[in-house]
Structure formats: structure tokens, C-alpha cells
């Protein structure tokens, strides 16, 4: 029996399998409001058999957007636009999650398919960014260091976005503490040079993440919460796997249910070598040493590899991104390749199923 195609339950939410869709920014929202593109983009993965679909990094405040075209959940119009998208995912049997995010010093940038790079000028729709310290990401505008009131505003914004997410029908919430965005910026000594209770020691640098976690679990009681970490900055003197193990334990004690283990993104001078499954050892270490459930992510692009990650107990689930973009029916294909007898092939697609229950007449 395929381990990849066994269910996994967080609190009272059950994912039908362990092959999940990573949050992937589409840079196609208007004033934070998701569009028809988002509906098609996300619903197709549910038809394709995904267990959990986590919608893209969704800003909890306007200044938290990576780009002016990012999706948001800071007002009710955005919530109401997400609702039919979430309903479409759930109707097709997948669990709908959303990644709540604040980009911090990496906000107000041009989207990746724009002709320009770096920060969007203030007179062209950009805004002043915020961060733990007034240290710019390489090539970006210098941010303003958050004061205590600003930090309180961030915590409140995450809580309010969590409430709106649940009202929109999302069943799982993910906190984005990775890839060099605001929560990660507070965690890493390379971007956090504060001398107050939010800087210095690991306990202090983790304070904002844990406050946000507390606020979100209070705002959405009973809803499973995933925390995404970059397990290492891939840079000398930065955040590393040992720090991740410690803070993952603290987060689990505060109510986090699961951990999404990625890496990098904090600094431009990171040094890493990528390849299929290059982040799996990080996920395995966090799982083993922190004693928490995790998913692995990063170039896990074929069914046999994903199955092996679960069977070897390196992770409890696998998230993929680009492979879902290449094939929105990745899970259906993987089930066929692994010989997993799943019962959620769409009836409309049964004639393509390479096992029983296909139409005897492919011309009909």
C-alpha cells in the first residue's frame, strides 16, 4: 500500500493523501482581491487529487504584500472573493488552506514577470517597508524598523486575517515564517539587530512569531495551524537548523500542529546547492529532533521520490510547487504510477484511469 496515499489528520481536518500543493504567488490580484485566475488555478489542483491546497502568500496588511499584485485578507471584500474559490476546492474533495504572510523588508517589489526588478518607487505605487531593523535586502529600499506599536499592529493584523480566512471557509492556516519575509526577518540575527525584547537572544527573536501564533490560535480556535520555516539561511552567522528545532518545539507547545520545512531566502549571499529533495534532510532533522510532524518540499517531482520520503519517515507529507504547475493532476498521475487505488478520480476523467472503473467505450 502506498504511504503517500494514506490520509493524514490535523485536529479534526483530514487530508485524503499526503501529496500537497505548496503556496505559490500568482501576482494577479487587484487591490488584494483574488481574481478568476486564482479560482481556476487552485480548483484544478483539487480536481487533480491534491490532499491539501495552500493558497499563496496572502498579505495580512497592505504594506505586507510582496508586490502590489499580491492577494490579501485585510478586508471583507477580499474575504468574500476568496469564499467561492475555497468552496470550489472543497467541493472537489481537497482541503483548503491559506498562507498568512507579511513580507516586511521584501515588500513593495515588482512581480517576477515584470520587466523591472527591485523595489517599486513610492510615486509608482510602492510604499515604505518595515522590518525588525533598518537593514535593506540586497538591492531593495531600506525599511523602517518597527516600533512596539508597529509590532502590535502586525500581531493584530495576523489575527484579523485568520478570522477572515475561517469566515471564507479555509480549513487550515499557515504562518509564513520562511523565505526572508517578516517573521523570518525577526528570527534571523542577519536581519534582526534589535536591542529590545524582540532582538538578541533566540527567545527574543522568536517572540514575534510566537505572539502571532498565539493571536491566530485565539482568533481561529480549533483550526489547524502550520508554521513554515526556512530551516537555514545558508549563510554564516544566520538562522540554522538547530535554531529551527528549538523554535519548532516552542511553537508546538503553543499550539502549532504541523511544520512546513523549506530554506533560504533571507539574504542574497546565501550559498546552497539545489537538487531533487535537497531540503528533505532538513525536514527529517526537524521531525526527528523536535519531535514534530513536518512536510518536505523542494524538487520532489516524481511519485517514487515522494513515496520514498514518506516511507523512510523523513517527513509526514510532501509539498510540491512547480510539478503541480506542470501537471495539475500530479496526484492522479502519482497514484497510477504507485498503483494506489484511490476513489476520488473525477467521474469525468475515469476513462483516463489506467485501472478499473474506466468507460468501456472511450469514444463516448
Count of Cβ atoms closer than 10 Å to residue 273 Cβ: 6
**Cα–Cα distance measured from residue 20 to residue 135, given in angstroms and rounded to the nearest whole number:** 35
Catalytic residue among 181, 198, 278, 349: 181
**Cα–Cα distance measured from residue 304 to residue 327, given in angstroms and rounded to the nearest whole number:** 16
CA angle, corner 271, sides to 138 and 206, nearest 5?
A: 70
The residues pairing with 145 across neighbouring beta strands, listed in sequence order, are 131
For the question of residue 181 being annotated catalytic, the response is: yes
**Cα–Cα distance measured from residue 345 to residue 125, given in angstroms and rounded to the nearest whole number:** 44
Which residue in 21, 43, 89 sits closest to 323, CA to CA? 21
Dihedral pair phi/psi, residue 123, rounded to 5°? -80, 5
User: In Å, what is the CA distance from 9 to each residue of 47, 172, 201, 258?
Assistant: 20, 11, 35, 11
Which residue in 179, 225, 227, 237 sits closest to 25, CA to CA? 179
Which residues are known catalytic residues? 181
Amino acid at each position: 500500500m502506498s504511504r503517500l496515499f494514506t490520509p493524514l489528520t490535523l485536529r479534526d481536518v483530514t487530508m485524503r493523501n499526503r501529496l500537497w500543493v505548496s503556496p505559490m504567488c500568482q501576482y494577479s490580484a487587484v487591490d488584494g482581491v483574488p481574481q478568476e485566475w486564482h479560482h481556476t488555478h487552485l480548483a484544478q489542483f483539487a480536481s487533480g487529487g491534491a490532499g491539501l491546497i495552500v493558497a499563496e502568500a496572502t498579505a495580512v496588511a497592505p504594506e505586507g504584500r510582496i508586490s502590489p499584485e499580491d492577494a490579501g485578507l485585510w478586508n471583507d471584500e477580499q474575504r468574500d472573493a476568496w469564499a467561492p474559490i475555497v468552496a470550489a476546492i472543497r467541493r472537489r474533495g481537497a482541503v483548503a488552506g491559506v498562507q498568512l504572510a507579511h513580507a516586511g523588508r521584501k515588500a513593495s517589489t515588482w512581480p517576477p514577470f515584470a520587466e523591472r526588478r527591485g523595489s517599486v518607487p513610492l510615486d509608482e505605487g510602492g510604499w515604505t517597508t518595515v522590518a525588525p531593523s533598518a537593514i535593506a535586502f540586497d538591492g531593495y529600499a531600506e525599511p523602517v524598523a518597527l516600533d512596539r506599536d508597529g509590532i502590535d499592529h502586525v500581531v493584530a493584523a495576523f489575527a484579523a486575517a485568520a478570522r477572515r480566512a475561517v469566515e471564507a471557509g479555509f480549513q487550515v492556516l499557515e504562518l509564513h515564517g520562511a523565505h526572508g519575509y517578516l517573521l523570518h526577518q525577526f528570527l534571523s540575527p542577519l536581519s534582526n539587530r534589535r536591542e529590545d525584547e524582540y532582538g538578541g537572544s533566540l527567545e527574543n527573536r522568536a517572540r514575534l512569531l510566537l505572539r502571532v501564533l498565539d493571536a491566530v490560535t485565539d482568533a481561529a480556535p480549533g483550526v489547524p495551524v502550520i508554521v513554515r520555516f526556512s530551516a537555514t539561511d545558508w549563510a554564516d552567522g544566520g538562522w540554522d537548523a538547530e535554531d529551527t528545532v528549538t523554535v519548532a518545539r516552542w511553537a508546538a507547545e503553543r499550539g502549532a500542529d504541523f511544520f512546513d520545512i523549506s530554506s533560504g531566502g533571507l539574504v542574497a549571499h546565501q550559498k546552497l546547492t539545489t537538487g531533487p529533495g535537497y531540503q528533505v534532510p532538513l525536514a527529517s532533522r526537524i521531525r526527528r529532533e523536535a519531535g514534530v510532524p513536518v512536510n518536505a518540499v523542494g524538487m520532489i517531482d516524481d511519485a517514487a521520490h515522494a513515496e520514498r520520503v514518506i516511507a523512510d519517515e523523513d517527513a509526514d507529507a510532501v509539498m510540491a510547487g512547480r510539478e503541480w504547475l506542470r501537471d495539475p493532476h500530479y496526484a492522479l498521475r502519482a497514484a497510477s504510477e504507485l498503483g494506489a487505488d484511490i476513489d476520488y478520480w473525477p467521474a469525468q476523467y475515469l476513462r483516463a484511469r489506467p485501472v478499473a472503473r474506466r468507460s468501456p467505450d472511450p469514444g463516448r
